[in-house]
Structure 1
Amino acid sequence: MSDYGIEDSESEEPDEVVEGDTDPDEESTPIVSYDVSSFGSDPEVEGIVSRLRRGSIKIPEFQRDYVWRLPEASRFIESLLLGLPVPGIFLAVEPNTGKQLVIDGQQRLKTLLFFYDGYFDPKPNEQRRRVFSLSKVQPAYEGKTYKTLDEESRNKLDTAIIHATTVKQSSPPEDDTSLYHIFERLNCGGRKLYDQEMRIAVYHGSLIDELKNINTYINWRNIFGKPSKRLKDQELILRFFALFENRASYSRPMSEFLNKYALKNQNAPQNKLEYLANIFSDCLDVLATIYLTNHRLATI
């Protein structure tokens, strides 16, 4: 229950069920035809790690936590050292930056980065970090770190190949939302990703940052309740922004309307976002005042 007597939308439901999602009559996929090209490449491991460090290959922040245990991660590294084939990765080109977004393969890529950096699954502000020493592998590699591998083994790992498939939308130029739909389809297995989770990955920028910021506003938290694990609260704020600016041009489905707004305003100027956030917070303040006034009158 929120402070204003509104039942929390997720308090009684499992994580996958969120009340108030897209209306049933809005769930149909819009009829849009895309021209999407794809190409394969075979980058070397050392090059992949270098690009991860530079940020030219990016792992979406919402993607599931790193779940591999040390033996699983070690066997992946061992496979590369032995010259065995490993599953490929799937990337998509961001329209505005040209950087590559990881759609499938983040466990493998994080494992590589951890091994090269020397620490297994390090956490921010962690005082003690676990050294990434290979475990439960062949005796020649048991207990080895990247630095303690012999030169021949390091060179073999550096030059090992991981196949990458990269996709990029060519048209339509006015509706560059195919990346969202590609992400949705490739991540249909396992835990279902909700619309706003995918938007954070695909359209991350100043708009997404502002949604996160205003989502902490005290009167919004009092009205909505506890933060949504599936980002429903942030999606509602996005709806407010989009309908406030573009309600005259709204067309179903709502999800696609929000996708187009998020794409167009992905890196909106800060003064515009502050203006929208101020309007949103002012509305919340009015609602809070009305509620408190009515609550006082009811207790008299």
Structure 2
Amino acid sequence: MSQEELKEEENNKLIEIEITDEDSVEDIDDIVSPFDPKDIKIIVEPKTIDHLVQRLRFSEIDLNTEFQRKGNLWKADAQSRLIESILLRFPLPAFYFDAEDDNNWLVVDGLQRIWTIKNFVINSELDDPNNKPLELIGLDILTDYNAKGITYNHLTRAMQRRILETTITTYLIQPGTPKQVKYNIFRRINTGGLGLNSMEIRNALNQGKPSNFLKNLSEDPKLRGLLKVQDRRMEDRELYLRAIAFINGEHSDYKTPLSGFLDKALEALDKKSDEELQKLRSGIIKAIEVQHALFGKDIFSRSIDKKSNLKLNSALFEVWVSEVYKLTENQQTKLIKNKDKLASKYIALIANPDFSRAVSTSTSGYSAVQLRFNKIKELIINYTK
């Protein structure tokens, strides 16, 4: 099992992965064309590796793994074989960039290859112990270069020129392309094992106020002490965004698919004032503290029934956080005061087959969302009168 798979398995021990069933039968009738095909603005441009190198020198390609969380993952031998392919003039796969800002291209596909070029060419120009140049190892054909500490600087000028003059194909998503179109492009292109997940794509396309808010919220010391959840692939940020999406309105206004619902929720953060964002942050923290007071270690988990595994359930998280957030301080206090009675009814609700399905399978379907919200709201009302 690879290191990536081990990390994924470890995270699955902390979060209960529900089957979201984005393409469930009940949603098929709702499928409509989300945008006009003429809004797809992508141009194909032949360039050279030297073009990428120049942009890397001036930090005009965003290699910030803040939103991708997986830059520079290839081992030295895999990187070396890419350089070998270039030296042998083997064709390379195309590169995809979001070129909305010409001074700061976002990598849509090709991140590991670009990191390899940086490590081999750019790092050879630096005197930085934290950015050591790639030394070629594990080559299959140019075996004379193996295990000799060969870097870009050791190559002859002719070999260096061969690298820099290598032609590549770039697909550039043009300025003015609607964000909804970009979401679709990102998701369709990123289908490989290291592709961006939905939350990383959202974050990539909503840099600034929205991404910073979620980042700061997920790193809050209080919340990190209360919740055990990985942040390697932004699982924690998506949890908070799911709650925020339902805080923004009533659950009856929910529309499938969940991915689009969350896209709009993150975009909406950009329109909020600093005061509104601070209120949102404080309210979410308070709602989670109330949950901890109610259920302790079983917070947002079906384990309260003493039969299920202790895993954070995102469907329970979104409904409890958003509904407790909307309570007054007096109502929250009453809820905690009645926690023993509430817990007894909640355990019975967890055991209900219909409710159990609504928080474990097809959780993004409209009917599942309505069922779990209605049941939890009814429970809350009974103990906040």
Whether TM exceeds 0.5 here: the answer is yes
Alpha-carbon deviation of 1:117? 3.0
1:48 aligns with 2:52: yes
1:281 aligns with 2:285: yes
Alpha-carbon deviation of 1:278? 1.6
Question: Helix, strand or coil: the match of 1:162?
Answer: strand
TM-score under structure 2 length normalisation: 0.59
Q: CA 1:17 to 1:91, structure 2 compared with 1: closer, same or farther past 3 Å?
A: farther
- In the alignment, which residue of structure 2 is the partner of 1:262? 266
1:165 aligns with 2:194: no
1:231 to 234, 238, 261: 234
- In the alignment, which residue of structure 1 is the partner of 2:215? 212
- In the alignment, which residue of structure 2 is the partner of 1:195? 198
1:36 aligns with 2:40: yes
Alpha-carbon deviation of 1:111? 0.5
1:177 to 170, 175, 180: 180
CA distance in 1 between partners of 2:102 and 2:62 (Å): 11
**Kept in 1: contact 2:63–2:71 (CA 8 A):** no
- In the alignment, which residue of structure 2 is the partner of 1:78? 84
Comparing 146-155 with 241-250, greater Cα deviation is found at 241-250
Question: Helix, strand or coil: the match of 1:115?
Answer: helix
Q: Which structure 2 residues correspond to residues 111-130 of structure 1 after superposition, within 5 A? A: 111-118=116-123
Q: CA 1:98 to 1:48, structure 2 compared with 1: closer, same or farther past 3 Å?
A: closer
CA distance in 1 between partners of 2:40 and 2:103 (Å): 15
TM-score under structure 1 length normalisation: 0.73
**Kept in 2: contact 1:93–1:101 (CA 8 A):** yes
Q: Which amino acid aligns with 1:155?
A: R
The aligned length equals 279
Gaps of 5+ in 1: 1-9, 120-125
CA distance in 2 between partners of 1:291 and 1:188 (Å): 39
Q: CA 1:214 to 1:66, structure 2 compared with 1: closer, same or farther past 3 Å?
A: same
1:130-173: CA deviation from partner (whole Å, max 9, x where unpaired): 542223353675543222222233233222222111223756x5
CA distance in 2 between partners of 1:276 and 1:282 (Å): 10
Gaps of 5+ in 2: 1-8, 297-335, 342-385
1:244 aligns with 2:247: yes
- In the alignment, which residue of structure 2 is the partner of 1:6? none
**Kept in 2: contact 1:42–1:163 (CA 8 A):** yes
Alpha-carbon deviation of 1:237? 1.3
**Kept in 1: contact 2:15–2:229 (CA 8 A):** no
CA distance in 2 between partners of 1:57 and 1:65 (Å): 13
Bigger Rg, structure 1 or 2: 2
Q: CA 1:229 to 1:99, structure 2 compared with 1: closer, same or farther past 3 Å?
A: closer
Q: CA 1:272 to 1:48, structure 2 compared with 1: closer, same or farther past 3 Å?
A: farther
Identical aligned pairs, as a percentage?
24
1:146 to 140, 147, 152: 152
Q: Which amino acid aligns with 1:154?
A: Q
